[in-house]
Chains A and B, each alone.
Chain A
Amino acid sequence: MTTIVQKPGAQAVPPVGQAEKKKVRLSRSLILPALIFALVLTQIPFLVTIYFSMLNWNQLYPNEVGFNWFANYVTVFTGPDFLSSLGATVLITGSSVVLSLLFGLGFAILLDRKFPGQAIARTLLITPFLIMPAAAALIWKWSMLDANVGMVNFALTTLGLPPVAWNTDLPAVTIIMLLTWQFTPFMMLILLAGLQSQSKDVLEAASVDGSGPIRTFQWITLPHMRQYIEIATLLGSIMLLQVFDPIAIMTKGTGGTKTLSYLLYERAFIGLDVGQAAAFGVVTVFITILVATIALRTLFKVFMNGGDR
């Protein structure tokens, strides 16, 4: 929103005089190399991927490389992998986003008040997000969920419950659980910022008018939080779509955990089929763009409404 405020201001001061123009031209030409570099770095690889996706290129048969136009896309859309993988991606990304959002909101509400040791509690709650994804997956695999020495199963047996073979019997649940643990702090941070930006006067007025905490939350806090929730959902979805580490380390794509990014890895590095992997990649990018555009449009509306409010 700050950009919206600043932009008209910047336009209101047009460059005056020849010297100013020269200065602008100079600064622009100084930026040009960086701009070209950024464009080359971000866009060329994508164009090359599109080119690769139209090749019959299996690294195992280097003498048979050649164009096959859309054959790889035909394989993508007619093969059994794509739809089930898309389903797994939607399930894993969707449930992880929703769950971490709910937990994040809960923790944010708890943290949004003064209590001794608040800073320590906040730091501890953020920690899961700071751990490298591969390291987190290893911790969960070995220390938490291991069927013989894991803490979770130890706790379950102490309570008299049977131990659970997490990766074998509940692979999708395992992955969603880990991702929720990892992304809850991220959601919490965004939502906490939202809660803290709430005007205390409004809350005070509500309580003076006799509104209880639940009604205050429902009618005042939640509408205020909508834009924060939406941006957290968007960013979380984009990040979770690319998740790879826990699947590679824990379930190896079994039991409905073969997401698009893991499938892509399998086609490229186990099947060594560069063409097919590139086709999967291009399709994934378009799906992501599609989803993100729709999500961004609705978000943009929210920003407008937010401005009106």
Chain B
Amino acid sequence: MLLTKKRALALSAILATSALALTGCSGAGGAKQDVTLTLATVSNPQMKDMEELKGEFESANPSIKVNFVQMEEGDLRAAVTADVASGAGQYDIVTVGAYEVPQWGANGWLQDLTPALKADATYDVEDILPPVRDALSVDGKQYAVPFYGESSILMYNKEMLAAAGVTISNNPTWQEVATAAQAVKDQGIADSGICLRGKPGWGDLFAPLTTVVQTFGGSWYDMDWNAQVNSPEFTEAVTFYKDLLANAGQADPVSYSFTECLNLLQEGKTAMWYDASVAASILEDAKTSKVAGKMGYAHAPTYKTAESGWLWSWNLAVPESSKNKEAADKFVLWATSKDYQQLVGKTLGWTRVPPGARISTYEIPEYKEAAAAFAPITLEVMSSVNPSQPGVNPQPWVGIQYVTIPEFQDVGNQVAQLVADAIAGRISVADALNKGQEIAQKAGDAHKK
């Protein structure tokens, strides 16, 4: 599989360069050189909307053509990493997750966009949600601009909680949530009181679990990159998560991640769900969701910190290896501008405006109306999280539900498998985390100064 992929990459690189050479030749004779930009992106609905609307950009900039290459998240990560790291220059614009931006920026793989963003007066860079901007900057240099972003919130079925005689405040604690979940389950109002991700994977189980660890006072690493995985706080958090799942959670937790929990809540088989804020827009879609209009939303549950939501964004960046940086910058700024949001709203519908990137999105009257149920809470949570120090103690990286070191995918994945074994009761939480500590320490050692 590796080989064919590599070969395909090489082949497409050759094709792309020859295509570039050809367009370069044909353009040389004309007054202005034509440019074809290649954009690598993840195949999410918002990105497909962008491709649908690229014609607007092309007619405003007749000398620039934009080619979209859509891929699954995993494939994108592999293809873009290979291209950007080797400096092959196949892509002029890349879609990069918040996890990679600071790493790649620090490696010198991405162009510093700060000057370009400041130069454009109408762009209003201050309008980008500050926590998102922080997560994309290293030493004051911003390496990417957010296309859309999300945090994590608690979603609950108001009718079920009322039937159980419990309420959830706007800033609930985990204890409050556990009590409510238990009440729902004990009174038989739903099969389970809460749905939480249990599927092993750094982006599955450990996205919500890391935020729980942080609000319980734990962390993956301390300031000197000593792993903290078997610390009392980390252990307490994982034990709490495991117990909550066992007492009031969904059956067969290891099978459950975002999609599975979404189904469960939509079918009315569980009362609460702690997950990505983007889920709210799906739950409120009256056409597909049985619980539309019945849902309440609250901040991520906390314990020792004031906030506990995570922070994720899909961003556009220009690799240093791109040969058309000027044109690429132009497109990146266009796709993340206020005008683009208006364009999406007017041509495709207001619920399809990419959320969680700009403050002004939440001031558009039409958007406010279309997304009344979840827009205010999303903005509230996204502006209040702190990616520089999400937990109780300071951390040597910027980011909430991940650690911005290259090894984290692997570490998070292996520890998630151990925690899944603990959730299933095959090993104890302490044993799982002691093994996890070793795995995490090996990665941490590589970053000690």
Given contacts A148-B264, A268-B2, A254 and B255 within 8 Å (CB-CB): no
Q: Are B2 and A141 in contact (CB under 8 A)?
A: no
Q: Are A171 and B250 in contact (CB under 8 A)?
A: no
Whether, in the assembled complex, A278 has its beta carbon less than 8 Å from a beta carbon of chain B, the answer is yes
CB distance from B272 to the nearest CB of A (A): 15
Q: Are B407 and A60 in contact (CB under 8 A)?
A: yes
CB distance from B268 to the nearest CB of A (A): 11
Whether, in the assembled complex, B217 has its beta carbon less than 8 Å from a beta carbon of chain A, the answer is no
Output the nearest chain B residue to A80 by Cβ-Cβ distance: B435
CB distance from A252 to the nearest CB of B (A): 4
Q: Are A165 and B86 in contact (CB under 8 A)?
A: no
Residue interface mask B1-36, A partner, CB < 8 A = 1: 111000000000000000000000000000000000
The interface stretch among A100-108, A126-134, A202-210, A269-277 is: A269-277
The complex places the Cα of A271 from the Cα of B417 at a distance, in Å, of 14
Contacts of B413 in A (CB 8 A): 266, 270
Contacts of A59 in B (CB 8 A): 78, 81-82, 85
Whether, in the assembled complex, A185 has its beta carbon less than 8 Å from a beta carbon of chain B, the answer is no
The complex places the Cα of A274 from the Cα of B253 at a distance, in Å, of 32
Q: Are A255 and B424 in contact (CB under 8 A)?
A: yes
Given contacts A45-B3, A59-B85, A62-B86, A168 and B406 within 8 Å (CB-CB): no
CB distance from B8 to the nearest CB of A (A): 13
Q: Are A254 and B424 in contact (CB under 8 A)?
A: yes
Within 8 A of B (CB), among A125-182: 141, 145-149, 163, 165-169, 171
Whether, in the assembled complex, A48 has its beta carbon less than 8 Å from a beta carbon of chain B, the answer is yes
The complex places the Cα of A273 from the Cα of B410 at a distance, in Å, of 10
Whether, in the assembled complex, A95 has its beta carbon less than 8 Å from a beta carbon of chain B, the answer is no
Whether, in the assembled complex, B436 has its beta carbon less than 8 Å from a beta carbon of chain A, the answer is no
CB distance from B42 to the nearest CB of A (A): 16
The complex places the Cα of A62 from the Cα of B107 at a distance, in Å, of 11
Output the nearest chain B residue to A48 by Cβ-Cβ distance: B3
Whether, in the assembled complex, B348 has its beta carbon less than 8 Å from a beta carbon of chain A, the answer is no
Output the nearest chain B residue to A254 by Cβ-Cβ distance: B420
Output the nearest chain B residue to A277 by Cβ-Cβ distance: B2
Q: Are A147 and B252 in contact (CB under 8 A)?
A: yes
A167's contact among B1, B2, B252, by CB below 8 Å, is which? B252
Whether, in the assembled complex, A279 has its beta carbon less than 8 Å from a beta carbon of chain B, the answer is no
Contacts of A272 in B (CB 8 A): 78, 81, 406, 409-410
Given contacts A146-B255, A271-B410, A255 and B264 within 8 Å (CB-CB): no
The interface stretch among B153-161, B193-201, B276-284 is: B193-201
Q: Are A49 and B3 in contact (CB under 8 A)?
A: yes
The complex places the Cα of A258 from the Cα of B416 at a distance, in Å, of 14
Output the nearest chain B residue to A150 by Cβ-Cβ distance: B252
Within 8 A of A (CB), among B236-263: 250-255
Whether, in the assembled complex, A189 has its beta carbon less than 8 Å from a beta carbon of chain B, the answer is no
Whether, in the assembled complex, B330 has its beta carbon less than 8 Å from a beta carbon of chain A, the answer is no
B254's contact among A148, A168, A269, A274, by CB below 8 Å, is which? A168
Output the nearest chain A residue to B409 by Cβ-Cβ distance: A270
Output the nearest chain A residue to B245 by Cβ-Cβ distance: A168
Whether, in the assembled complex, B366 has its beta carbon less than 8 Å from a beta carbon of chain A, the answer is no
Q: Are B406 and A61 in contact (CB under 8 A)?
A: yes
Whether, in the assembled complex, B421 has its beta carbon less than 8 Å from a beta carbon of chain A, the answer is yes
Contacts of A252 in B (CB 8 A): 199-201, 254, 417, 420
Q: What is the number of residues of chain A that contact chain B, defined by CB distance less than 8 Å?
A: 39
Whether, in the assembled complex, A251 has its beta carbon less than 8 Å from a beta carbon of chain B, the answer is yes
Within 8 A of A (CB), among B121-169: none
Given contacts A62-B86, A255-B424, A269-B78, A168 and B267 within 8 Å (CB-CB): no
Residue interface mask A48-66, B partner, CB < 8 A = 1: 1100100000111110000
Whether, in the assembled complex, A236 has its beta carbon less than 8 Å from a beta carbon of chain B, the answer is no
Output the nearest chain B residue to A62 by Cβ-Cβ distance: B85
The complex places the Cα of A148 from the Cα of B191 at a distance, in Å, of 8
Contacts of B410 in A (CB 8 A): 270-273
The complex places the Cα of A272 from the Cα of B78 at a distance, in Å, of 8
CB distance from A148 to the nearest CB of B (A): 5
The complex places the Cα of A169 from the Cα of B255 at a distance, in Å, of 11
CB distance from A211 to the nearest CB of B (A): 50
Contacts of A168 in B (CB 8 A): 198, 252-255, 420, 423-424
CB distance from A74 to the nearest CB of B (A): 15
Within 8 A of B (CB), among A204-263: 250-255, 258
Contacts of B2 in A (CB 8 A): 49, 52, 268, 274, 277-278
CB distance from A91 to the nearest CB of B (A): 15
Q: Are B85 and A149 in contact (CB under 8 A)?
A: no
Contacts of A60 in B (CB 8 A): 81, 406-407
The complex places the Cα of A218 from the Cα of B264 at a distance, in Å, of 52
Whether, in the assembled complex, B48 has its beta carbon less than 8 Å from a beta carbon of chain A, the answer is no
Counting chain B CB atoms within 10 Å of each CB, the highest count among A45, A258, A270, A274 belongs to A270
A147's contact among B1, B85, B251, by CB below 8 Å, is which? B251
Contacts of A278 in B (CB 8 A): 2
Whether, in the assembled complex, B338 has its beta carbon less than 8 Å from a beta carbon of chain A, the answer is no
Contacts of A148 in B (CB 8 A): 191, 250-251, 264, 267, 269
Contacts of B267 in A (CB 8 A): 148-149
Q: Are B417 and A269 in contact (CB under 8 A)?
A: no
Contacts of B290 in A (CB 8 A): none
Q: Are A147 and B424 in contact (CB under 8 A)?
A: no
Contacts of A273 in B (CB 8 A): 410
Output the nearest chain B residue to A148 by Cβ-Cβ distance: B269
Within 8 A of B (CB), among A268-309: 268-274, 277-278
Contacts of B365 in A (CB 8 A): none
Q: Are B421 and A166 in contact (CB under 8 A)?
A: no
CB distance from A156 to the nearest CB of B (A): 12
Q: Could you name 12 residue pairs across A and B whose Cβ atoms are closer than 8 Å?
A: A52-B2, A145-B255, A146-B252, A147-B251, A148-B250, A168-B255, A168-B424, A252-B254, A270-B409, A271-B409, A272-B78, A272-B81
Q: Which residues of B are in contact with A by a Cβ distance under 8 Å?
A: 1-3, 74, 78, 81-82, 85-86, 191, 198-201, 250-255, 264, 267, 269, 406-407, 409-410, 413, 417, 420-421, 423-426
8 interchain residue pairs of minimum CB distance: A60-B406, A147-B251, A147-B252, A165-B252, A62-B85, A168-B254, A271-B410, A167-B255
Beyond A168-B420, A272-B410, 4 extra complex contacts between A and B, CB < 8 Å: A58-B406, A163-B251, A171-B424, A258-B417
